[in-house]
C-alpha cells in the first residue's frame, strides 16, 4: 500500500506541475502549449471561461486517463478501491484548478483575484496595466486616421484604451502565405497608418508567416535616420506601417549588380512633399541561387551631394534575405520614409544599390556598366525654403 500511495502522489505532483506550467506559459507568452501540457492547456488558454459542456468533457477525460493508468499498475481489487478514491479526489482538484485558471483569464475576474498567482499573476497584471496603458497613450497621441491591428490575445484590452479602430489579428490558424495575405487584405484600410501590435515573445511559425505577409502587404515606416519604426511596451511590440496597394505599378529599371542580382522595377507611390511620406517599392530578382546576403541602401540625395533620407536593410526588414530568393522569381521590397518638414527646394535623386553588411563594400553595377547605384526616380521640389 505504501508503494501505491507514493506512486499516486507522484502522479498528483506531475499533474499539478502541468497545471502550474500551463498557467506560467499562458501568462508569459499569451498561450500555453498543448503539446507540452496536454489537455490542461486547453482550459488555461480559454478566454473567457469555457462552457459547462467542455468542463464535463474534460472531467470525463481526466477520469478515463487516470483509470487507464490504474489498469497498467495491475493492482489488486482490494487496493484498487481506495486508489479510485485517491484518483477521483485528484481529478476534482485538477478540475478546480484549471477551471479557475480559465475564469481568471476573464478580464473582470483577473482584477478581482489579483493576489491569486503571486509571481506569475503579477506578470499578467503588469502587462494589462502599465504596458497596455503606455501603449495606449502612444497610440492616442498618434495622428489619425489609423488602424490598430492587434494579436487576438490583447485585442479587447487595447480596444478599451485607444481612440482608433482596433482590428483583431488571429495568429493561430495554419494557412498558406497567399491565404494569409488575402485575409489581411480584408482587415486593412486602403490608406492611412496601420499599427501592428504583437507579443514580442511570439516566435511561432505562424507568427513569422503573418509578419512576412505584412511586409508584402503594407509599407513599413522607417524613421528619417533609417531606423525601423518599432517600439516595445513590456512584452508587446508596436510596428508602424502605411497602407497602400501591394501590386503598385513601377517603372522598369533593369539594373544588374555583381552576383547577378537584378533590380527589375522600382519607384515611389507619392510625390516628394515637406512633412509627408514617401512610399517606395523595389522589385528584385536573381537568375541563379546565391550564398551572398547583401543589404539594400535607398538614399534620397539633394543636389547630388546632401543625404536627406535613407533606409539600409535586408529586404523585407530582414525577412527576405537574397540567399532565400527563388531564382527567376520577382521579390518585392516595399517600405515608407518620412520626409522632413524643412525640405529644401531643388533637385532630388532616389538612389538604390546593394552592399555587404559586414564589410560595407558596395556591389558594382554590371548593366549599365560602372557605378555602385542606380537612380530610380528624380524629383524637382519648388516653393519651399
Same domain, 90 and 147: no
The residue that leads in pLDDT, 203 or 195, is 195
For residue 241, how far is the Cα from the chain centroid? 13
Which of 242, 276, 293 finishes a domain?
A: 242
- Assigned domain for 346 exists: yes
Query: What pLDDT score does 272 carry?
Result: 96
Q: Quick one: cell of 331?
A: 521579390
255 and 376 together in one domain: yes
pLDDT at 22: 67
Distance in angstroms (rounded) separating the CA atoms of residues 242 and 218: 6
CATH (domain of 201): 3.40.50
Q: Lowest-pLDDT range, 57-71, 82-96, 106-120?
A: 106-120
Please check whether residue 315 lies inside any domain of the structure.
yes
Lowest-confidence pick of 75-84, 161-170, 279-288 = 75-84
Band the pLDDT of 234: cuts 50, 70, 90: confident
Q: What was the pLDDT predicted at 14? A: 62
Residues 42 and 12 in one domain: yes
Report pLDDT digits (tens) over 243-275: 998 788 899 999 999 999 999 999 999 999 999
118 assigned to some structural domain: no
Please check whether residue 119 lies inside any domain of the structure: no
Please check whether residue 117 lies inside any domain of the structure: no
Q: Per the domain annotation, does 121 fall within a domain?
A: no
Per-residue confidence at 109, pLDDT binned at 50, 70, 90? Answer: very low
Choose between 214 and 75: higher pLDDT: 214
Q: Treating both helix axes as pointing N-terminal to C-terminal, what angle do 132-141 and 152-159 enclose, rounded to 10 degrees?
A: 60
Mean model confidence pLDDT for the chain:
76
> Number of structural domains, the chain?
3
Lowest model confidence (mean pLDDT) among 113-127, 238-252, 298-312 = 113-127
The answer on 272 and 223 residing in a single domain is no
Same domain, 203 and 185: yes
| 70: containing domain | 2-112
What is the pLDDT at residue 380?
Answer: 95
For the chain, strand residue ranges (E) read 146-151, 165-169, 193-199, 219-221, 230-233, 236-242, 251-257, 261-268, 277-286, 295-302, 306-313, 331-338, 346-355, 365-367, 374-381
Interatomic CA distance for residues 103 and 313, integer angstroms: 45
Are 183 and 294 in the same domain? no
Q: Rounded CA gap, 220 and 130, in Å?
A: 27
pLDDT tens digits, one per residue of 129-166: 788 899 999 999 998 889 999 877 788 889 999 999 99
Domain boundary among the residues 193, 213, 242 is at: 242
**What is the spatial distance between Cα 232 and Cα 107, in angstroms, rounded to a whole number?**
23
Torsional class of 212: left (φ above 0), alpha (ψ -120 to 50), beta (otherwise): alpha
In a domain, 225, yes or no: yes
Residue 10's pLDDT is what?
57
Residue-wise pLDDT tens digits, 347-357: 999 999 999 99
- Stretch 293-319: mean pLDDT, rounded? 93
CATH number (domain holding residue 255): 2.70.50.60
Judge if 371 and 294 occupy the same domain: yes
How far from chain centre, in Å, is Cα 254?
A: 34
State residue 2's pLDDT score: 34
What DSSP assignment string belongs to 291-348?
----EEEEEEEETTTEEEEEEEESTTTTTS-GGGPPTT--EEEEEEEEPPTTPPSEEE
What is the tens place of the pLDDT at every residue in 23-36?
666 655 566 676 66
pLDDT band at 292 (very low <50, low <70, confident <90, very high): confident
* pLDDT score for 331: 95
> Of the candidates 197, 217, 242, which is a domain's last residue?
242
Percentage, residues of the chain above pLDDT 90: 41
Amino acid at each position: 500500500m505504501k508503494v501505491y500511495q507514493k506512486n499516486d502522489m507522484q502522479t498528483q505532483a506531475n499533474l499539478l506541475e502541468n497545471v502550474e506550467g500551463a498557467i506560467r506559459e499562458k501568462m508569459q507568452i499569451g498561450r500555453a502549449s498543448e503539446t507540452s501540457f496536454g489537455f490542461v492547456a486547453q482550459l488555461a488558454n480559454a478566454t473567457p471561461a469555457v462552457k459547462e459542456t467542455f468542463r464535463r468533457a474534460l472531467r470525463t477525460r481526466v477520469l478515463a486517463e487516470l483509470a487507464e493508468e490504474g489498469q497498467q499498475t495491475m493492482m489488486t481489487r482490494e487496493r484498487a478501491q481506495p486508489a479510485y478514491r485517491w484518483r477521483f479526489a485528484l481529478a476534482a482538484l485538477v478540475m478546480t484548478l484549471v477551471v479557475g485558471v480559465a475564469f481568471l483569464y476573464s478580464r473582470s475576474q483577473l482584477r478581482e483575484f489579483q493576489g491569486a498567482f503571486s509571481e506569475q499573476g503579477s506578470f499578467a497584471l503588469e502587462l494589462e496595466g502599465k504596458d497596455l496603458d503606455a501603449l495606449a497613450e502612444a497610440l492616442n497621441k498618434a495622428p489619425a486616421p489609423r488602424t490598430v491591428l492587434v494579436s487576438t490575445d490583447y485585442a479587447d484590452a487595447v480596444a478599451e484604451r485607444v481612440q482608433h479602430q482596433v482590428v483583431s489579428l488571429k495568429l493561430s490558424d495554419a494557412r498558406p502565405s497567399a491565404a494569409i495575405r488575402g485575409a489581411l487584405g480584408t482587415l486593412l484600410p486602403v490608406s492611412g497608418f496601420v499599427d501592428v501590435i504583437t507579443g514580442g515573445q511570439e516566435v511561432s511559425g505562424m507568427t513569422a508567416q503573418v509578419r512576412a505577409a505584412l511586409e508584402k502587404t503594407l509599407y513599413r515606416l522607417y524613421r528619417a535616420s533609417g531606423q525601423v519604426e518599432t517600439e516595445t511596451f513590456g512584452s508587446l511590440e508596436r510596428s508602424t506601417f502605411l497602407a497602400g496597394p501591394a501590386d503598385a505599378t513601377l517603372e522598369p529599371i533593369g539594373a544588374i549588380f555583381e552576383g547577378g542580382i537584378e533590380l527589375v522595377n522600382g519607384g515611389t507611390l507619392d510625390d516628394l512633399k515637406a512633412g509627408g511620406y514617401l512610399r517606395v517599392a523595389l522589385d528584385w530578382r536573381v537568375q541563379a541561387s546565391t550564398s551572398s546576403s547583401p543589404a539594400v541602401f535607398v538614399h534620397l540625395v539633394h543636389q547630388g551631394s546632401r543625404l536627406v533620407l535613407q533606409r539600409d536593410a535586408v529586404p523585407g526588414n530582414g525577412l527576405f534575405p537574397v540567399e532565400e530568393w527563388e531564382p527567376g522569381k520577382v521579390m518585392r521590397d516595399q517600405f515608407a520614409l518620412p520626409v522632413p518638414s524643412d525640405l529644401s527646394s531643388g533637385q532630388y535623386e532616389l538612389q538604390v544599390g546593394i552592399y555587404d553588411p559586414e564589410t560595407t563594400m558596395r556591389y558594382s553595377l554590371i548593366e549599365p556598366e560602372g557605378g555602385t547605384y542606380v537612380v530610380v526616380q528624380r524629383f524637382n521640389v519648388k516653393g519651399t525654403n
